[in-house]
Amino acid sequence: MSQESTGQGLAAKAVAWKDVRRQDPCVVALGNFDGVHLGHRRILESLLAESAASGLAPVLITFEPHPRYFFKPQEKPSLLSTPREKLALLREWPVEVIPLAFDKDLAGLEAEAFIESFLKDRLQGQRFLLGHDHRFGKGARGDAALLQRHVRDPQKDVLILEPFQLRGEVVSSSAIRAHLEAARIEQANILLGRPFSYAGTVVRGDGRGRGLGFPTANIDLGYPFKAMVSLGVYGGKALVDGREVSAIANIGKHPTFGGDALKIEIHLLDFDRDLYDQWLEFRLLFHVRPERKFASVDELRHQVEKDIVETRVRLQDL
């Protein structure tokens, strides 16, 4: 995945609904698309298929911020992708992506007005795709049934997509978050269709890793709502300047040192270079162990050595 694919350098500025004005008719997919997982990819495939069949331009509408954080900004972090990451993933598809600002004006727009004034007038939407449980408009009163009452051919012009299942499990952002919170990284990655990752700028830490003999790159996500895995140690791959490097990460609060701030610290195996202020992505591939407090620094150092050996072996088997 390139730096652009991770979202670095991509503008993710959302636009107000009143500032949207398209000229050509289109088929529209609606959703939050958090994580752009395998279920979302089925929606994108359906969008492209409908576009080809109808001759209408394919347009995808997503929302920023996620409506959950507009109404409840105090909720704990739980999004699989930052706005930049989501936009980068969506832009890998040949569709027009419009990140719509979920603000007070949009939140107060009645569902009927959202359909007529935005979807049909400003977007020039003629056909629509949405999940069976997607809601829109003030008070979330709008749904697929309401949208069907505002189109010429309810059966053809509104495509209601049922949940996508893989190995007997519904693919959803909430299911993936549950796997991450339980440290089931492999299962989360299967539903995502790619490794879950953390990406950000490398910042200076407290130097404890280097003091232990294992220098780490501390990354600043620059985004408060990114979902957190279960605290602990993880094996995976780091992406630096387009190069993939074997790595191990500690995602936690340093209980051995009495810490309380959550940090993402990555030790790159067989790699020694100053990375401060550079962009780094860590792709999680498996869980090594949960976070725990050690009786001494020497005990912690010994455990880290064992963690690195285990990580090397497991990465070789992948």
What is the Cα–Cα distance from 268 to 244, expressed in whole angstroms? 10
Residue 117, domain CATH: 3.40.50.620
- Based on the fold, state whether residues 202 and 151 are members of the same structural domain: no
DSSP, collapsed to helix, strand or coil, labels residue 224 as coil
Among 105, 134, 169, which residue terminates a domain? 169
- Based on the fold, state whether residues 133 and 249 are members of the same structural domain: no
What is the Cα–Cα distance from 189 to 197, expressed in whole angstroms? 10
Q: What percent of the chain has pLDDT over 90?
A: 75
φ, ψ at 37 (rounded to 5°): -85, -175
For the ranges 5-9, 155-159, 238-242, the maximum mean pLDDT occurs at 155-159
**What are the pLDDT digits (tens) for 259-310?**
778 999 999 998 888 899 999 999 999 999 999 999 888 999 999 999 999 9
Specify if 107 maps to a domain: yes
Specify if 126 maps to a domain: yes
- Based on the fold, state whether residues 148 and 292 are members of the same structural domain: no
Q: Are 203 and 219 in contact (CB under 8 A)?
A: yes
- Based on the fold, state whether residues 42 and 157 are members of the same structural domain: yes
Specify if 266 maps to a domain: yes
Q: Are 95 and 89 in contact (CB under 8 A)?
A: no
The whole domain housing 69 covers 3-169
Q: Which residue has the higher pLDDT, 70 or 219?
A: 219
Residues constituting the chain: 318
Domain count, the chain: 2
- Based on the fold, state whether residues 12 and 158 are members of the same structural domain: yes
| pTM of the full structure | 0.90
DSSP, collapsed to helix, strand or coil, labels residue 255 as helix
- Based on the fold, state whether residues 72 and 156 are members of the same structural domain: yes
pLDDT of residue 10: 45
Strands 26-30 and 125-131: parallel
Q: Peptide bond before 65: cis, by omega within 30 degrees of 0? A: yes
pLDDT of residue 188: 98
Specify if 180 maps to a domain: no
pLDDT of residue 12: 58
pLDDT of residue 9: 41
Q: What percent of the chain has pLDDT over 70?
A: 94
Among 169, 184, 214, which residue terminates a domain? 169
pLDDT of residue 308: 96
pLDDT of residue 133: 87
Residue range 310-318: mean pLDDT, rounded: 94
Residue range 100-126: mean pLDDT, rounded: 96
**What are the pLDDT digits (tens) for 71-98?**
888 877 689 999 999 999 999 999 999 9
What is the Cα–Cα distance from 308 to 269, expressed in whole angstroms? 8
- Based on the fold, state whether residues 27 and 118 are members of the same structural domain: yes
pLDDT of residue 74: 80
Classify burial at 25, counting beta carbons within 10 Å of its beta carbon; exposed 0-12, middle 13-18, buried 19 or more.
middle
